[in-house]
């Protein structure tokens, strides 16, 4: 009886081992089928003569924009990435989409165009876009962080999911992200909002620029260069204001006019705290 039992146990183990091997083999084949990646590197320079503004929508791509006074035009570097059934097919798929550049008067538009048959299998990833510093830029991405440096024109960014970091934007900044943190340092007026994330907004230069910030779930930190002529309108769980002319700790709502009240500092953090202070000089 014991020998029969051992044989049966051995047979069961063998059958289980074969089933597991077959399952792993199938999984391995599946990984091979969907594991080939294709890449097509893209570099381009678009003419910027007479342009005043450019709109950029590259799909689900991070966006890094750098102002460069020495750039010969608008310089782009990035790559198309794809997934295919084999190496040749993946590369061919990555070569299918295009970047579309159109100009109308002083306005230009840069779009990632993906054929319907390739949707969901290929996307563009921007490494960097160098632009004239005084250009106005309008940015759109569904997924990816947005970083803008040394661009002093008007900056607009609409992001579904991604952090936003901006240094510049003397011509004004308008930013929205559905989910992500905001970090902005600017001499221009700022209108910024995030659904899920915190916001750090710093005045630059002499200050005096309006700051309007809204956060649904997160904290707001505002650093001012000057506390003269403020119009403070703050709504949050805990509110701390520590400047030369205003010092308070409260909850819920706080409003105060300083001087002429010509500089808006309006902040709303329904699910978080607000801290307003002066930039500490080194």
Confidence of residue 210 (pLDDT cuts 50, 70, 90): very high
Question: Any residues with CB less than 8 A from the CB of 164 and at least 6 apart, and which?
Answer: 145, 146, 157, 175, 177, 180, 181, 182, 183, 184, 192, 194
From the list 75, 54, 197, the residue with the least C-alpha distance to 128 is 75
Confidence of residue 90 (pLDDT cuts 50, 70, 90): confident
pLDDT at 49: 92
Tell me the pLDDT tens digit for each residue of 31-84: 344 578 999 999 999 999 999 999 999 999 999 999 999 999 999 999 999 988
What's the CA gap between 112 and 18, in Å, rounded?
48
What's the CA gap between 143 and 60, in Å, rounded?
5
Residues in the chain: 282
pLDDT at 246: 96
- Minimum mean pLDDT among 10-24, 104-118, 181-195: which range? 10-24
Mean pLDDT along residues 228-246:
96
Q: Measure Cα distances from 193 to 55, 112, 212 in Å.
A: 20, 26, 8
Mean pLDDT along residues 132-136:
97
What's the CA gap between 86 and 6, in Å, rounded?
46
pLDDT at 164: 98
Half-sphere exposure of 72 (CA within 13 A, CB side): 4
Mean pLDDT along residues 83-110:
92
**pLDDT over threshold 80, residue 2:** no
């Amino acid at each position: 009886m014991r020998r029969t039992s051992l044989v049966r146990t051995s047979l069961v183990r063998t059958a289980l081992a074969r089933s597991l091997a077959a399952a792993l083999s199938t999984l391995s084949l599946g990984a091979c089928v969907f594991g080939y990646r294709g890449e097509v590197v893209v570099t381009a320079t678009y003419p910027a003569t007479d342009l005043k503004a450019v709109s950029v929508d590259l799909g689900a791509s991070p966006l890094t924009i750098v102002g460069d006074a020495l750039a010969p035009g608008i310089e782009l570097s990035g790559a198309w990435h794809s997934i295919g059934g084999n190496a040749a097919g993946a590369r061919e798929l990555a070569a299918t989409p295009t970047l579309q550049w159109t100009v109308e008067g002083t306005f230009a538009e840069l779009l990632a165009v993906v054929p319907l048959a390739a949707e969901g299998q290929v996307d563009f990833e921007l490494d960097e876009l160098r632009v004239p510093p005084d250009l106005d830029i309008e940015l759109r991405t569904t997924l990816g962080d947005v970083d803008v440096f040394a661009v002093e024109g008007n900056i607009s960014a609409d992001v579904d999911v991604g952090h936003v970091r901006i240094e510049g934007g003397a011509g004004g900044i308008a930013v929205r992200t559905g989910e992500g943190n905001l970090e902005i340092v600017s001499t221009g007026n700022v209108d910024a909002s995030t659904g899920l994330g915190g916001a750090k907004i710093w005045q630059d230069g002499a200050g005096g620029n309006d700051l309007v910030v809204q956060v649904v779930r997160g904290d707001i930190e505002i650093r001012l260069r000057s506390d003269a002529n403020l119009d403070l309108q703050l709504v949050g769980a805990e509110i701390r204001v520590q400047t030369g002319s205003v010092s308070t700790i409260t909850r819920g709502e706080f409003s105060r006019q300083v001087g002429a009240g010509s500089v808006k500092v309006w902040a709303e953090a329904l699910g978080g705290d607000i801290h307003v202070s002066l930039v500490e000089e080194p």
